């Protein structure tokens, strides 16, 4: 067999090498790598001639899946040299991918191979000259640590320590970001003896970009320590971080607050985190306040139940009240996105007395995003006090959003319409909101018209065909005579969306005649949309209507002078036959 | 500027006025972002972490010129201490009197360090540094919007500038003063000080960055012991900028300083400096906001090449490696920089990189984006480059010929076609035998290329067939 295949087996490799050396790198990296994978010619990568980062990235990723292709776990270490060189590349995405692949294949090493091949690589990277290799090393300690002997473990800890106090901030950042992960694989005694001092040092680094990463590590470290040690080993650092002079660090604390809260437990939460949280809610930088405001609900939810209500009422709610009239709209909208959740925690009476005024104030906020966030979370309040309490203020807010100058705001409110309609009931809807829903159909922005069509469909699903026949179908069909062809097309789009929900009878008797009539429209776009519509509503119609009414019209359209009309008519005919 | 925005806003409002349906767009989505953003109130910001909220009281001191010479150093110190008080400028109404008092005191100090003699006692150094640090070192406030785009958006200005400017002014006069002794100052102006100073270069306020540039330049000039440290930290800032954040406002200013630093490098260049060029300056070309600092960057690169011409090859190869694939504006910048490099290139270096270089230029010349093509074709107006091309026409002409020939027939832009004709004409005059040869073989060359392309496709097809046939059997192949 070897003889017969002899030429063939070398041939693809020759082709590959030739293709790989091709200068036009854009040609199909994907295919190149796919073939590489099949033939696993590692030595080509090893002396890789590429310097194109895109290729290197793909290479770094593929090599992580190569174990079987190089002969299984026994040989997996031969993937290390190319990955090692990729882990020293400048481009961050390439390096990260290489580290990811190294982490993956580290699991496929036997314990012996790990010590003989993998661990020396980690050490080489950790003591590399250029910062890139040292940053890569940071991500590899935790994957080999659990599976090596205690002497090697000691070395690894030493290397990690060194990198935590590296000269370049890039390396310290990498170490800080892996601190939590590394702590998790360490034996408890070393967490206390090693990690805590590193954590403290990184948390007071001169660069705020390093300090803020220590906050993240704080969560993991706190979960690893027994409760009684937290106060002395972690809390001083955390307190300091919550009052750091850099807003980025304080922001990080606010951002991770729920995790921190869970990690340190209820006692410390009560004594330390509540005041810290109050401070963050009152922080002088809006970014920090917004991050903290985002956590209000989660924080309150996770407070110890025994005096949750008291803490919220006396400590948190006063800050929340202030945030409602914050000067910064991001803060207000962050708060608006969670504040409704407090009602379930505080119960009916407190909600009516304390929260309702806040909701109402936010519904009148000048910033549309704030109002939108309140409206989009109505369901939480609905469960507790019912939506009627709000409906008086709700309506003006909805109307205003519906006419907002920014189409994205209008789009967002349309998307909540079905939900609102469900909660407010059909009468309220008919009386107050129906006109709005119809007005959106003639919006200047296509995306709004499209969403309005989709909204009608959902409303019909909710309120039923009879409601549709009485309230919206006549209006939609009336638009078929509009002088503006965009509005006429909207009729067609609505019919496309509504026919199924309305059922055969309405579709055949009311909608179909209108569609057929529009086949004589003078605008070609309308005509080819007629063809499309006929194709769409075909399944809803009975075969008689299809044969006697639809088919002749489509056949006429198929001879239209316009190319597109012809095309879509043809398409509809083929699909229906 | 604000006025202009007002006008354009009202224009917008007018243009949308006639169509008054209930859901009319009050702001049209196609207006420039900067116009739309003008509605935001805050165009000023400041780090607010320091303000205490209570009114500040400073006891007015007599003017320095009003006291006898012997008492002046003492009073100078007192005034420095007073100026350590920092005011909240975001609150425009608070402490108005004291703000004014501090302003006039700072003004007085500026004048005083400029003209007085004998005021700089040893005790004054720590007080000066303390006052300057206390005022300028602060965590910069978060940017106004998350997607602050330096090319599009107006920068947020520092609210406390009325004081800050005078502090900077004072510090520069202090550093430049004839009495200033670096040997004493180095105890206070140390690595930590410099680090904080460098962080301030991220300020959005261009006025502040301008002052910082002068300050850092003076410090670099006077404190020899800090030079290596400053360079290393700038390195770190750039690397972070390129590979981590893509955001740092002061890159242009730092590069400007580096330009003059590079100018002063001793020969032969240290490995550290070469590494800086290859691993930091070249990758800076990849950043999205290149246009904001490209001029300064190109200047630095050229400075390096003038120092050591042997660096030409790695630099040009670096540029070719990072050559923009989709961004035409950047491509034009690269071409501009390349021309600057070619202006100073030594013929021996030129020969080393001419092939890859002209392969790229030939690609640029045939770019469908006429600005790119035009920029590349302008090289032929450069006498020095022309002389280099002429010397090496036997190599360059074959590389360029097919692109030029094709564009002369195909390019959509008549100006480009005209330029290409000139270039072809120049080539013809340079080496008419080769030119004729290439013209004669153009068609057959094209056909050969097409054939080769087809062969390649077939090879791949064949390879895929093989793949199917062999399937997973190839798992067994282990590389040697």
Q: How much is the pLDDT for B21?
A: 38
Q: Which residue do the tokens 């070897």 mark?
A: A2
User: Testing the interface with A: which of B15, B20, B22 to mutate, by most A Cβ within 10 A?
Assistant: B22
A450 Cβ contact list (under 8 Å, min separation 6): A493
Q: How far is B270 from chain A (nearest CA, A)?
A: 16
Flag whether residue B475 sits within 8 Å of chain A, measured between CB atoms: yes
For residues A531 and B24, which has the higher predicted lDDT (pLDDT)? A531
DSSP A535-552: HHHGGGS-HHHIIIIIHH
Q: How many CB atoms lie within 10 A of CB B298?
A: 22
Evaluate whether A164 touches A198 at the Cβ level (below 8 Å). yes
Evaluate whether A420 touches A398 at the Cβ level (below 8 Å). yes
A364 Cβ contact list (under 8 Å, min separation 6): A371, A393, A396, A397
Are the beta carbons of B142 and A445 separated by less than 8 Å?
A: no
Flag whether residue A78 sits within 8 Å of chain B, measured between CB atoms: yes
Evaluate whether B352 touches B310 at the Cβ level (below 8 Å). no
DSSP B158: E
For residue A328, what are its two tokens?
A: 């910064």
Q: Which of residues 429-468 of A touch B (CB under 8 A)?
A: 439-440, 442-445, 448
The answer, yes or no, to whether residue B328 has pLDDT greater than 90, is yes
Residue in A71, A245, A287 closest to B49 by CB:
A245
Taking contacts as CB-CB distances below 8 angstroms, the residues of chain A near B321 are: 51-52
Cβ pairs A/B, distance under 8 A: 102
Are the beta carbons of B467 and A31 separated by less than 8 Å?
A: no
Flag whether residue B480 sits within 8 Å of chain A, measured between CB atoms: yes
Are the beta carbons of B25 and A206 separated by less than 8 Å?
A: no
Flag whether residue B56 sits within 8 Å of chain A, measured between CB atoms: no
Buried b (16+ CB within 10 A) or exposed e, A395-434: bebbeebbbbebbebbbbbbebbbbbbbbbebebbeeebb
In terms of average pLDDT, the best of A53-57, B44-48, B444-448 is B444-448
Flag whether residue B41 sits within 8 Å of chain A, measured between CB atoms: no
Are the beta carbons of B321 and A247 separated by less than 8 Å?
A: no
Rounded CA-CA distance A80/A493 in Å is: 58
For residue B17, what are its two tokens?
A: 């006025």
Flag whether residue A407 sits within 8 Å of chain B, measured between CB atoms: yes
Are the beta carbons of B478 and A15 separated by less than 8 Å?
A: no
CA B324 to chain centre: 17
Phi, psi of A377 (to 5 degrees): -110, 20
Q: How far is A26 from chain B (nearest CA, A)?
A: 10
Are the beta carbons of B279 and A130 separated by less than 8 Å?
A: yes
Rounded CA-CA distance B156/B174 in Å is: 28
Nearest CA in chain B to A26: B325
Rounded CA-CA distance A160/B119 in Å is: 51
Q: Helix (H, G, I), strand (E, B), or coil: what is residue B153?
A: coil
Are the beta carbons of B49 and A285 separated by less than 8 Å?
A: yes
Confidence of residue B379 (pLDDT cuts 50, 70, 90): very high
Q: How much is the pLDDT for B148?
A: 62
Evaluate whether B101 touches B56 at the Cβ level (below 8 Å). no
Confidence of residue B47 (pLDDT cuts 50, 70, 90): low
Confidence of residue B330 (pLDDT cuts 50, 70, 90): very high
Q: How much is the pLDDT for B7?
A: 35
Nearest CA in chain B to A12: B463
Q: Is the ipTM of this complex over 0.85?
A: no
Q: Is A225 left (phi over 0), alpha (psi -120 to 50) or beta?
A: beta
Are the beta carbons of A15 and B460 separated by less than 8 Å?
A: yes
Residue in B24, B243, B475 closest to A444 by CB:
B24
Residue in B29, B139, B477 closest to A247 by CB:
B139
User: Testing the interface with A: which of B45, B139, B196 to mutate, by most A Cβ within 10 A?
Assistant: B139
Confidence of residue B387 (pLDDT cuts 50, 70, 90): very high
Rounded CA-CA distance A263/A222 in Å is: 6
Residue in B142, B243, B467 closest to A90 by CB:
B243
Are the beta carbons of A445 and B25 separated by less than 8 Å?
A: yes
Rounded CA-CA distance A155/A264 in Å is: 31
Taking contacts as CB-CB distances below 8 angstroms, the residues of chain B near A208 are: 139
Residue in B22, B48, B477 closest to A403 by CB:
B22
Evaluate whether A143 touches A106 at the Cβ level (below 8 Å). yes
Average pLDDT of span B82-99:
84
Strand partners, B158: B45
For residue A385, what are its two tokens?
A: 């006090």
Q: Which residue do the tokens 């769409």 mark?
A: A536
Buried b (16+ CB within 10 A) or exposed e, A450-465: bbbbbbbbbbbebbeb
Taking contacts as CB-CB distances below 8 angstroms, the residues of chain A near B359 are: 23
DSSP A39: H
Flag whether residue B139 sits within 8 Å of chain A, measured between CB atoms: yes
Q: How much is the pLDDT for B218?
A: 94
- Asked whether the bond before B456 is cis by omega within 30 degrees of 0, the reply is no
Q: How much is the pLDDT for A38?
A: 44
Are the beta carbons of B466 and A12 separated by less than 8 Å?
A: yes
Are the beta carbons of A285 and B142 separated by less than 8 Å?
A: yes
Longest dimension (CA), chain B: 102
Flag whether residue A21 sits within 8 Å of chain B, measured between CB atoms: no
Nearest CA in chain B to A13: B463
DSSP A191-260: IIIIIHHHHHHHHT-SSHHHHHHHHHHHHHHHHHS-HHHHHHHTHHHHHHHHT-SSHHHHHHHHHTHHHH
Q: How far is B475 from chain A (nearest CA, A)?
A: 5
Question: What's the pLDDT tens digit per position in B271-308?
Answer: 999 999 999 999 999 998 899 999 999 999 999 999 99
Q: How much is the pLDDT for B474?
A: 47
Confidence of residue B470 (pLDDT cuts 50, 70, 90): low
Evaluate whether B220 touches B257 at the Cβ level (below 8 Å). yes
Are the beta carbons of B236 and A168 separated by less than 8 Å?
A: yes
Q: How far is A283 from chain B (nearest CA, A)?
A: 8
Are the beta carbons of A246 and B139 separated by less than 8 Å?
A: yes
Are the beta carbons of A169 and B240 separated by less than 8 Å?
A: yes
Flag whether residue A190 sits within 8 Å of chain B, measured between CB atoms: no
Residue in A16, A26, A284 closest to B49 by CB:
A284
Alpha-carbon separation of residue A135 from A71, A120, B324 (angstroms): 30, 16, 27
DSSP B45: E
Are the beta carbons of B48 and A131 separated by less than 8 Å?
A: no
Query: What is the sign, positive or negative, of the torsion defined by CA atoms of B344, B348, B350, B353?
Result: negative
A574 Cβ contact list (under 8 Å, min separation 6): none
Evaluate whether B87 touches B95 at the Cβ level (below 8 Å). yes
What's the whole-number average pLDDT of chain B?
Answer: 83
Among A192-196, B35-39, B353-357, the least confident range: B35-39
Taking contacts as CB-CB distances below 8 angstroms, the residues of chain A near B21 are: 442, 444
Using CB atoms within 10 Å of the CB of residue A314, give its burial: 0 to 12 exposed, 13 to 18 middle, 19+ buried: exposed
Q: How much is the pLDDT for B48?
A: 53
Nearest CA in chain A to B238: A170
Taking contacts as CB-CB distances below 8 angstroms, the residues of chain A near B460 are: 15, 19, 31
Rounded CA-CA distance B89/B91 in Å is: 5
Q: Which of A95, A96, A68, A63 is nearest to A80 (CA)?
A: A63
User: Testing the interface with B: which of A245, A248, A410, A452 to mutate, by most B Cβ within 10 A?
Assistant: A245
Flag whether residue A11 sits within 8 Å of chain B, measured between CB atoms: yes
Q: Which of A49, A52, A140, A37 is nearest to A94 (CA)?
A: A52
Strand partners, B44: B157
Taking contacts as CB-CB distances below 8 angstroms, the residues of chain A near B29 are: 407
- One digit per residue, pLDDT tens: chain A, 577 residues? 333 344 455 555 566 656 555 545 444 455 445 445 444 555 555 555 456 788 888 888 888 887 777 777 777 888 888 888 889 988 889 999 999 999 998 888 888 888 888 889 999 999 988 899 999 999 999 998 988 888 889 999 999 999 999 989 999 999 999 999 999 998 888 888 889 999 999 999 988 899 999 998 998 898 888 888 888 888 889 988 998 888 999 999 999 999 998 888 888 888 888 999 999 998 888 889 999 999 999 988 888 888 888 888 888 889 988 888 888 888 998 998 888 888 888 888 888 888 888 888 888 888 888 888 888 887 777 777 776 777 777 778 788 888 888 888 888 888 888 888 887 788 888 887 888 888 888 888 999 999 999 999 988 888 888 888 888 888 888 888 889 999 999 999 999 988 888 888 888 888 898 999 899 899 999 999 999 999 888 888 888 888 888 888 998 999 988 989 999 999 888 887 7
Rounded CA-CA distance A447/A415 in Å is: 12
Are the beta carbons of B240 and A442 separated by less than 8 Å?
A: no
Flag whether residue A243 sits within 8 Å of chain B, measured between CB atoms: no
The answer, yes or no, to whether residue B216 has pLDDT greater than 60, is yes
Q: How much is the pLDDT for B317?
A: 92
Q: Is A503 left (phi over 0), alpha (psi -120 to 50) or beta?
A: left
Nearest CA in chain A to B198: A207
Q: How far is B60 from chain A (nearest CA, A)?
A: 30
DSSP B265: P
Taking contacts as CB-CB distances below 8 angstroms, the residues of chain A near B479 are: 40-43, 70, 78
């Amino acid at each position: 067999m070897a003889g017969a295949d002899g030429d063939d087996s070398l041939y693809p490799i020759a082709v590959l090498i030739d293709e790989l050396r091709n200068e036009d790198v854009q040609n199909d990296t994907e295919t190149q790598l796919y073939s590489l994978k099949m033939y696993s010619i590692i030595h080509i990568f090893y002396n890789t001639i590429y310097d194109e980062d895109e290729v290197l990235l793909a290479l770094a990723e593929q090599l992580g899946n190569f174990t079987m292709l190089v002969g299984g776990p026994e040989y997996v270490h031969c993937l290390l040299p190319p990955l090692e060189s990729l882990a020293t590349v400048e481009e961050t995405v390439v390096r990260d991918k290489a580290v990811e692949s190294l982490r993956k294949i580290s699991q496929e090493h036997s314990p012996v191979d790990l010590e003989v091949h993998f661990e020396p690589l980690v050490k080489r990277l950790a003591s590399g000259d250029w910062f890139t290799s040292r940053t890569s090393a940071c991500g590899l300690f935790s994957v080999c640590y659990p599976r090596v002997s205690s002497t090697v473990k000691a070395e690894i800890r030493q290397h990690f320590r060194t990198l935590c106090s590296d000269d370049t901030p890039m390396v310290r950042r990498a170490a800080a970001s892996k601190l939590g992960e590394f702590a998790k694989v360490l034996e408890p005694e070393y967490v206390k003896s090693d990690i805590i001092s590193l954590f403290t040092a990184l948390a007071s680094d001169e660069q705020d970009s390093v300090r803020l990463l220590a906050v993240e590590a704080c969560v993991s470290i706190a979960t690893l320590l027994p409760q009684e040690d937290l106060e002395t080993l972690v809390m001083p650092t955390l307190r300091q971080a919550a009052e750091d002079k850099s807003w980025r660090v304080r922001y990080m604390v606010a951002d991770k607050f729920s995790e921190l809260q869970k990690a340190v437990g209820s006692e410390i939460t009560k004594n330390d985190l509540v005041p810290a949280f109050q401070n963050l809610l009152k922080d002088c930088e809006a970014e920090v306040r917004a991050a903290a405001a985002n956590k209000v609900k989660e924080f309150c939810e996770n407070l110890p139940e025994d005096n949750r209500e008291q803490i919220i009422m006396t400590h948190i709610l006063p800050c929340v009240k202030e945030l409602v009239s914050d000067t910064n709209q991001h803060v207000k909208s962050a708060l608006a996105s969670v504040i409704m959740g407090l009602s379930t925690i505080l119960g009916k009476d407190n909600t009516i007395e304390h929260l309702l005024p806040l909701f109402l104030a936010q519904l009148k906020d000048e910033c549309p995003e704030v109002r939108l966030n309140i409206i989009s979370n109505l369901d939480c309040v609905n469960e507790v006090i019912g939506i009627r309490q709000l409906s008086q203020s709700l309506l003006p807010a909805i109307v205003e959003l519906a006419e907002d100058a920014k189409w994205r705001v209008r789009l967002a409110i349309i998307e909540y319409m079905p939900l609102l309609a469900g909660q407010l009931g059909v009468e309220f809807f008919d009386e107050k909101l129906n006109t709005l829903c119809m007005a959106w159909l003639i919006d200047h922005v296509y995306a709004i018209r499209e969403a309005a069509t989709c909204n009608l469909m959902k409303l019909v699903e909710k309120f039923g065909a009879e409601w549709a026949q009485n309230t919206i179908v006549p209006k939609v069909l009336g638009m078929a005579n509009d002088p503006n062809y965009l509005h006429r097309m909207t009729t067609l789009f609505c019919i496309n969306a509504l026919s199924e929900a309305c059922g055969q009878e309405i579709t055949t008797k009311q909608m179909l005649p209108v569609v057929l009539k529009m086949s004589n429209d003078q605008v070609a776009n309308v005509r080819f949309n007629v063809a499309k519509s006929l194709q769409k509503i075909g399944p809803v119609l009975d075969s008689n209507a299809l044969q006697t009414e639809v088919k002749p019209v489509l056949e006429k359209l198929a001879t239209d002078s316009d190319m597109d009309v012809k095309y879509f008519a043809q398409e509809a005919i083929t699909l229906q036959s | 500027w604000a006025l202009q925005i007002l006008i354009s806003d009202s224009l917008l409002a007018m243009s949308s006025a006639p169509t008054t349906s209930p859901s009319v767009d009050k702001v049209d989505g196609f207006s420039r972002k900067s116009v739309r953003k003008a509605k935001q109130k805050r165009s000023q910001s400041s780090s607010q972490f320091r303000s205490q909220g209570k009114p500040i009281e400073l006891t007015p001191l007599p003017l320095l010129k009003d006291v006898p010479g012997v008492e002046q150093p003492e009073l100078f110190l007192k005034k420095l201490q007073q100026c350590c008080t920092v005011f909240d400028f975001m609150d425009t109404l608070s402490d108005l009197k004291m703000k004014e008092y501090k302003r006039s005191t700072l003004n007085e100090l500026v004048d005083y360090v400029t003209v007085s003699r004998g005021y700089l006692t040893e005790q004054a150094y720590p007080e000066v540094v303390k006052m300057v640090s206390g005022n300028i070192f602060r965590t910069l406030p978060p940017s106004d919007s998350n997607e602050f785009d330096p090319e599009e958006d107006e920068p947020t200005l520092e609210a406390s500038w009325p004081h800050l400017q005078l502090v900077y002014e004072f510090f520069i006069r202090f550093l430049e003063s004839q009495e200033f002794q670096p040997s004493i100052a180095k105890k206070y102006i140390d690595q930590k000080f410099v680090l904080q100073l460098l962080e301030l270069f991220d300020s959005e306020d261009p006025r502040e960055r301008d002052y910082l540039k002068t300050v850092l330049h003076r410090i670099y000039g006077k404190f020899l012991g800090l030079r290596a440290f400053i360079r290393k930290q700038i390195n770190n800032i750039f690397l972070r900028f390129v590979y981590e954040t893509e955001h740092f406002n002061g890159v242009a200013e730092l590069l400007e300083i580096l330009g003059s630093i590079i100018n002063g490098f001793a020969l032969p260049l240290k490995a550290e400096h070469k590494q800086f060029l290859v691993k930091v300056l070249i990758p800076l070309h990849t950043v999205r906001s290149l246009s904001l600092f490209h001029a300064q960057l190109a200047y630095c690169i050229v400075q390096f090449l003038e120092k050591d011409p042997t660096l030409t090859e790695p630099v040009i190869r670096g540029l070719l490696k990072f050559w923009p694939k989709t961004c035409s504006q950047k491509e034009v910048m690269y071409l501009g920089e390349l021309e600057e490099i070619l202006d100073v290139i030594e013929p021996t270096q030129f020969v080393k990189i001419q092939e890859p270089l002209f392969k790229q230029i030939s690609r640029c010349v045939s770019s469908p984006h006429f600005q790119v093509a035009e920029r590349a074709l302008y090289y032929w107006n450069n006498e020095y480059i022309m002389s280099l091309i002429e010397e090496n026409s036997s190599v360059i002409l074959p590389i360029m010929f097919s692109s030029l020939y094709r564009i002369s027939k195909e390019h959509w832009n008549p100006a480009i076609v005209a330029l290409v004709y000139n270039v072809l004409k120049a080539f013809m005059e340079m080496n008419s035998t080769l030119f004729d040869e290439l013209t004669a073989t153009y068609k057959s060359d094209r056909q050969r290329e097409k054939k080769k392309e087809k062969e390649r496709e077939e090879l791949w097809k064949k390879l895929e067939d093989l793949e199917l046939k062999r399937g997973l059997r190839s798992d067994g192949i282990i590389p040697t």
